[in-house]
Structure 1
Amino acid sequence: GVVIYGNWVYLLPTRLRAGQTIDSIDSLRQKNFRWHLTRRDALENASRLEIWDVEMHSDLFRLTEVLMFESSVGGRDYTGLSNRALGGLDLSYLLSFGHAILYGRFDEPIFQTDLPSERPSASAVRVVLPVAPPAVKK
């Protein structure tokens, strides 16, 4: 999972136990959020960007990540696709209001249905976290 705040994504440990805390956000590895979403890597004198594959259907976690933060990834300029039908899933705008977002995914479905599972599924969760403004020093 990750915590997203402003233009930064903070990578959480692979597994967090119930009640486990993180001493400081400074102890976490951080990356530029848009670079994280586009899988951009810094090279010696340039950068490399992972091009969005419009035929990619098998990586459901990648699809959900881009749907959930479509504006942050660059929208149609990055994917080449319109997101009108699922645009309500995009919570990128909350980052500009000073909120943080905890995003994680589950290996197992969050809930079960009686529908036949002919297709693979992905379960992800986002938690919007209000962030208090920094204290003013007098």
Structure 2
Amino acid sequence: MDFLIIAYPWIKSAHVVSVIAWMAGLFYLPRLFVYHTERGQGRGEFEELFGVMENKLLRFIMNPAMIATWIFGLAMVATPGMIDWSAAWPWIKAVAVFAMTGFHMWCARHRRLLANGVYTREGSYYRKMNEVPTLLMLVIVVAVIARPF
């Protein structure tokens, strides 16, 4: 456990970098869904281009960043004395992180649907869903930094 205390600033730094990469993907993938749905549907060349972009973003950026975020986050949680579990903020953050992970899974599901040519939603739906990670990010940042609860 002494190792975690000594390494805490490095673990926290790696966590923040991972979160930034993950959030970038969570902001961009639903936007790609908008373009895929509105401009790619029925146009083989564009459909394929959007499919490749979505797949690479999810597999090579978002998935590794999410995994790294969880690993470094759990390492911070495991560091003795760093989190006051009697306060509300770590619990609020935890719920929001689980929700963010759920949104990630939602993105993966819709990427598969679009890759298979299943267009069940319009671009406006994906535009609205694109706001979900922003709202969750605000909850997490306020809970961790301002700690109003």
TM-score, normalised by the number of residues in structure 2: 0.26
Larger helix fraction of residues:
2
Structure of higher CA gyration radius: 2
TM-score where L is the length of structure 1: 0.27
Bigger relative CO (Cα 8 Å, ≥ 6 apart): 2
Tell me which protein shows more strand as a share of its residues. Answer: 1
